[in-house]
Amino acid sequence: VNEPRGRGFARKSRFNISLSDSFYRVIARRRAALAALVCVFTFLGGCTKKTLSKAQAREVTAEIVAATQQATARKSEITIRPEAATGGLLARRAAVDDIYVTLSDPAQLVPLRRSLSDIARRHRLTIEESATGGVERLNLASDGTRTHTVHVVTPVGARTRAVAASRDSSAGGNGPRLAIILDDLGYERAAANAALALPFSITVSVLPNLPLSTEVAEEAYRRGDEVLLHLPMESESNDAKPEPIELRVGMNAQEVEGALAGMLESVPHAVGVNNHQGSRATSDAALMNELMPALRGRNLFFIDSRTTAATVAYGAAEHAGVRAASRKVFLDDTQTREAILAQLDLAARDAARDGFAIAIGHPHPATIEALTEGIPRAEARGVRLVFVSQVVR
Helices (H), 166-308: 189-196, 213-223, 253-266, 285-297
- Looking at the Cβ atoms of 58 and 276, the one nearer to Zn ion is 276
Does residue 326 sit in helix, strand or coil? strand
In the bound complex, what is the minimum distance in angstroms from residue 65's beta carbon to Zn ion? Answer: 35
Q: Which residues of 47-56 are buried (b: 16+ CB within 10 A; e: fewer)?
A: eeeebbeeee
- For Zn ion, which residue of 183, 218, 284, 350 counts as binding (CB under 5 A)? 183
DSSP 236: S
Residues 51-110 binding Zn ion (CB under 5 A) are none
In the bound complex, what is the minimum distance in angstroms from residue 183's beta carbon to Zn ion? Answer: 4
187: phi then psi, degrees, rounded to nearest 5: -80, -50
The whole-angstrom separation of Cα 58 and Cα 345 is: 51
Other CB atoms within 10 Å distance of the CB of residue 78: 21
In the bound complex, what is the minimum distance in angstroms from residue 235's beta carbon to Zn ion? Answer: 10
Nearest to 137 by CA among 120, 151, 116: 151
Q: What is the CB-side half-sphere exposure of residue 274 using CA atoms within 13 A? A: 28
- Looking at the Cβ atoms of 67 and 182, the one nearer to Zn ion is 182
- Candidate segments 165-173, 216-224, 272-280, 338-346, binder of Zn ion by CB under 5 A: 272-280
Q: E strands along 21-134, which residues?
A: 77-82, 97-102, 126-132
Give the residue nearest to Zn ion (CB): 276
Q: Is 234 in the site for Zn ion (CB under 5 A)?
A: no
In the bound complex, what is the minimum distance in angstroms from residue 184's beta carbon to Zn ion? Answer: 4
- Looking at the Cβ atoms of 138 and 194, the one nearer to Zn ion is 194
- For Zn ion, which residue of 83, 184, 243, 246 counts as binding (CB under 5 A)? 184
Residues 301-340 binding Zn ion (CB under 5 A) are none
In the bound complex, what is the minimum distance in angstroms from residue 276's beta carbon to Zn ion? Answer: 4
- Candidate segments 60-68, 79-87, 269-277, 317-325, binder of Zn ion by CB under 5 A: 269-277
- For Zn ion, which residue of 276, 328, 364, 384 counts as binding (CB under 5 A)? 276
By the 8 A CB rule, do 295 and 302 touch? yes
- Candidate segments 29-37, 97-105, 180-188, 195-203, binder of Zn ion by CB under 5 A: 180-188
In the bound complex, what is the minimum distance in angstroms from residue 273's beta carbon to Zn ion? Answer: 12
Nearest 10 degrees: Cα torsion 12, 128, 120, 95: 50
The whole-angstrom separation of Cα 332 and Cα 231 is: 20
- Looking at the Cβ atoms of 184 and 350, the one nearer to Zn ion is 184
What residues make contact with Zn ion under the rule CB under 5 A? 183-184, 276
